[in-house]
Chains A and B, each alone.
Chain A
């Protein structure tokens, strides 16, 4: 099978690159070994000043709204983070005192929404909080299975009966100027949160839960749909098993499912993620990029991979595939001619140029898509 470009990895970086390329008519396949980190996306894109407008445009063509409000994001544990570009789902405020009085509503027995931590965090900043629980009969079947009161299962129920939740919340609401709800609305139908907001008599915000992230999953579904509508091929649940390399050029890859049917392309993009996604593999002695054996920036002594404080930035997170300035991956010190690396597989090695995490994923995806578009143009007579 032949494509113009093959992307290895179907997360935020891979999908952003795939959509950008397909938009330019470049026939692209994404090979994704399972679902990805979008499923625990906080909704916040860190930095990436340069590509804000473009990101907002690309996401809006996929039906995802991205906001850019100065101020603070309210985090699930009741802490604040300086605001930046984020999904519209993320609760954002101009200052840390977010309201006079807030009503925090959770579902009875849902332990993945941290209402008491939220309340304490908000009260510290001057917002009086009241926590109440609701219990919908439609949700009772879920809790029969002791592990399945999860955000995404609740969201699936609420997609069908969110009006009932609204009715219960209306009864609980007194004079609060703000209502805070968990992000368990609008898994399939992104308009549900907005409908809830307009049906309640106060300002409504949604705050994140333990993963899976409902806005994250919705984002993934919409980006994938957009990519496919544009004509892209998405191979879910398949993984690259080997690659044909010759003199710095990748000619084809083989996958587990398609075995003898090799996949050819002019360009390859490695968007395989960090350790979690196995884009990087840590052995006891070194960190490797398993598909192409690319050069990996790392500390050679394992003792220097970690800091003892769990909450400090960890050196191992900085490790990742080395590239040249145009994101061509390096192998044995030499840039590969048609293989690029984007997103978390880079670690934070390129954070100064491209930002971190989601920001890094999107900005490197754009940069590489542009480079490929340029080179395709050059090839045209």
Chain B
């Protein structure tokens, strides 16, 4: 039959992408359907923290040991997405130093190396840390680029034969009695409807999985917890800084690529709010105040933007903060649980444990399909992660790499070899803040399903730097016009892109951010006539 697969995965976040990869590697015929773009939900809206598990060691030992195992695996299979930064859990004068011993014991029980170090040593390790600290513990935290990780999983799934449909909504499940047989879809870009069939449908849609499940006649009972974060304009810290106390608001500062991120807040919100999140002034104030306790220089560091994501938590009780809930994986076989056949939900969990979640989901799918294949995702590097260090990869490709070439390797890992023979025209810069060349953008457009500037941003960091798209949006749009041959659509795209950038800027619209905004608004409206 046409459009027939072994498994359909709904959701193009990291869980969906990881599941698609695992299923494809085990030889299944895979279709992944995503209503927006890859990593458009919670996947791309968090710290990008590669948890050591230490944060959960006291409250949730099971999650903690999952985290440390996956942490070690990702360092190997996703080396180009991971920054092996190490992490600190600091005790401030206002915190209880007694907690440190409990914390360290719990870490060790979970298999996490946790080493108490002298506060002076902590300052030497990370000079931006609050000099008033009275205690510090070193743990193997790291940072991981969620966009890169998601794109690499998606790419590998495709290399193993999976098909991916972006900007495609599931509108309805095709059922035969109580068994799911497939999905009906609507493509929001082409405005076309479709129908796809599979033996198993995996619901991997994060918080939106609540609705997807309802559509299938199943109630999961999730609740959305909004978390807001701030991005600072440069890397203030090179080591992840956490507070050594029970998890609370704004107690993690993570360096990631050229920036660092403080977060989060936690507030229960209604489902209707999930698609249009706004960061409120109170949240911004809280993040800065708490952030400056971790690293005092944040008080005077330029903020690039504010953003928010929704944790896909499965409610176990009615705790309004969502913090007492296990972040552990929830993998539901709805045939067993609800009597609906051919339907599986995978949710909960976190970025760090995505691979394990994908493995669990794929194991379940395989059991349903009576396929006996072992999972190899823990030992097979993702595309781009074949190299050791970023430096080694860069110098393997180019004898004397330029700044742009180094930056490209930072993003694509060994995949940057594709840019080896770029012409001088292709080496020209589009995004000057993040050093993204014409060649890298064209390559993303060709290979990574780019339909808009925002898609391009997720795959290349175009527009993620200091100027937030001021210099590069129109340049990059010019390249998209060439690829898609549609100027009309690109005009709209520029407007959407700049409005989306602005959405993250106005909540922190003062100081240099407002100067940048004034300049950008002036150029776009009055000089260019967008």
Contact = CB atoms under 8 A, between A and B. Distances in A.
Is chain B a partner of chain A in the same complex?
Answer: yes
Interface of A: 37, 40-42, 44, 75-81, 108-109, 111-112, 114, 116-117, 119-120, 143-144, 146-147, 149, 208, 210-211, 213, 274-276, 278, 281-284, 302-303, 305-306, 308-311, 314, 316-317, 357
Contacts of B471: 210
B530 A77 contact: yes
B529 A77 contact: yes
Contacts of B487: 116-117, 119-120
Contacts of A302: 281, 509-510
B398 interface: no
Interface string B502-515: 11001001110011
25 contacts: A44-B526, A75-B528, A76-B529, A77-B529, A79-B530, A81-B529, A109-B425, A112-B474, A116-B478, A117-B481, A117-B487, A117-B490, A117-B491, A120-B487, A208-B528, A210-B523, A276-B518, A276-B519, A303-B281, A306-B506, A308-B499, A310-B501, A310-B502, A310-B524, A316-B509
Given A109-B428, A114-B474, A146-B404, A210 B498 contact: no
Contacts of B438: 109, 111
B310 interface: no
A112 B530 CA distance: 14
A357 B530 CA distance: 17
B429 interface: yes
Kindly state the interface size class of chain B when it binds its partner: 35 or more
Given A306-B509, A314-B521, A316-B514, A77 B528 contact: yes
Given A117-B491, A274-B518, A275-B518, A210 B528 contact: yes
A282 B511 contact: yes
Contacts of B502: 308-310
B182 to A, nearest CB: 39
Contacts of B518: 274-276, 316-317
Nearest to B506: A306
Contacts of A281: 511
Nearest to B479: A111
Given A77-B529, A210-B527, A305-B509, 20 more contacts: A40-B519, A40-B522, A75-B528, A76-B527, A77-B474, A111-B428, A111-B475, A112-B474, A116-B481, A117-B491, A275-B514, A276-B519, A276-B522, A283-B511, A284-B510, A284-B511, A303-B281, A310-B498, A310-B521, A311-B499
Contact of B514 (A147, A282, A310): A282
B475 A311 contact: no
A302 B511 CA distance: 13
A100 B525 CA distance: 28
Most buried by A among B474, B482, B518: B518
Contacts of A146: 402, 404, 427-429, 437
Contact of A276 (B506, B515, B526): B515
A304 to B, nearest CB: 11
A42 B509 contact: no
A44 B481 CA distance: 28
B432 interface: yes
Contacts of B482: 116
Given A116-B482, A303-B281, A40 B530 contact: no
Contact of B424 (A42, A79, A143): A143
B510 A147 contact: no
Nearest to B509: A306
Most buried by A among B285, B432, B519: B519
B425 A143 contact: yes
B430 interface: yes
B428 A143 contact: yes
B317 interface: no
Interface in B324-372: none
A23 B263 CA distance: 58
Q: DSSP majority for the B interface? A: helix
A220 to B, nearest CB: 15
B175 interface: no
B495 interface: yes
Nearest to A309: B499
Nearest to A356: B526
A74 B437 CA distance: 29
A211 B523 CA distance: 8
Interface string B410-448: 000000000000001101111010000110000000000
A239 to B, nearest CB: 16
B488 interface: yes
Nearest first, the 8 closest Cβ-Cβ pairs linking A and B are: A75-B529, A120-B487, A310-B502, A111-B475, A306-B506, A282-B510, A79-B529, A310-B499
Contacts of B529: 75-81
B309 to A, nearest CB: 19
Contacts of A116: 478, 481-482, 487
Nearest to B500: A310
B454 to A, nearest CB: 14
Contacts of A112: 474-475
B52 to A, nearest CB: 34
A157 to B, nearest CB: 16
Nearest to A302: B281
A314 B514 CA distance: 11
A367 to B, nearest CB: 23
Contact of A40 (B428, B490, B499, B523): B523
A311 B479 CA distance: 23
A275 B475 contact: no
Nearest to B284: A284
Contacts of B402: 146
Most buried by A among B471, B488, B526, B528: B528
Contact of B429 (A40, A147, A283): A147
Interface string B446-485: 0000000000000000000000000100110111011000
Contacts of A42: 526-527
Given A77-B529, A143-B425, A111 B478 contact: yes
A114 B482 CA distance: 12
A276 B425 CA distance: 33
A109 B285 CA distance: 44
A141 to B, nearest CB: 11
B514 A120 contact: no
A77 B524 CA distance: 9
Contacts of A213: 527
Contact of B488 (A120, A210, A309): A120
A272 to B, nearest CB: 13
A116 to B, nearest CB: 5
Contacts of A211: 523, 527
Contacts of B501: 310
A276 B28 CA distance: 56
A111 B519 CA distance: 20
A314 B519 CA distance: 12
Nearest to A124: B488
B509 A282 contact: yes
Contact of A111 (B285, B424, B430, B515): B430
Nearest to B499: A310
A283 B471 CA distance: 25
A284 B287 CA distance: 13
